Structure 1
């Protein structure tokens, strides 16, 4: 999965308000033509194509010091790669860590990512902005 790099790419995903959240993370998604329109012109990107999935990570200082934030980012990259097949072929994704992500176990984060990816895909057909349905750590809607 390629990475979102510019501020403009991040804000385009965050502005659409298609998101779901759990105790330790928030996932924002931009799919299909919307995501393709967020890409650079051919030849300006890494591979010069609009196909594929791209991901950006947002881990603020509230999560912890630099070592802690980098550990959270490494975990998020692995989790996104493990669950990548449940996403559309063309999409932009931002995974935003909440402060609790630093203390969460890998297994807990894995379960949350799995649920959130399934949840956001179920809501993807929604015509308007998707509200951020909250799911607690036990998988129950709050």
Structure 2
């Protein structure tokens, strides 16, 4: 995932939280905001302090970033996503995380399987 496709600014996060639609399962919360003027999607990842110290939070962000990279061809372009990791993510295998990520993105109607 290219760095230009990441959401970093606090104002952008706030706008997506306020105007976007949220979808959730036990492991993730995803906020989606339609941005038809964009040619690709953008992603912001957040992990709360309750999940652990900085090392744990950064490892969790890397794992979520890898999920996005693996599934980027199936995600809708022209949207901004904020992905919030919840506590159960810490104890899950990569396969289980991937399955949960696909589930929440399908709930958000932003995931289209390869044909």
Give the Cα–Cα distance (whole angstroms) in 1 for the partners of residues 28 and 91 of structure 2.
12
Q: Which residue of 1 aligns with 2:42?
A: 54
- Normalising by structure 2, report the TM-score: 0.83
Give the Cα–Cα distance (whole angstroms) in 2 for the partners of residues 110 and 16 of structure 1.
27
CA RMSD of aligned residues (A): 1.6
Q: Which residue of 1 aligns with 2:11?
A: 8
Structure 1 residue aligned with 2:71, among 83, 87, 95? 83
1:15-94 → structure 2 map (5 Å cutoff)? 15-33=18-36, 36=37, 50-94=38-82
Contact 2:28 2:104 in 1 (8 A): no
Per the TM alignment, residue 32 of structure 1 is displaced from its structure 2 partner at its CA by: 3.0
- Secondary structure in 2 aligned to 1:12? helix
- Normalising by structure 1, report the TM-score: 0.68
Q: Which residue of 1 aligns with 2:113?
A: none
Residues paired across the two proteins, number: 107
Q: Which residue of 2 aligns with 1:102?
A: 90
**Which of 1 and 2 has greater Rg?**
1
Structure 2, unmatched stretches of 5+, are 111-115
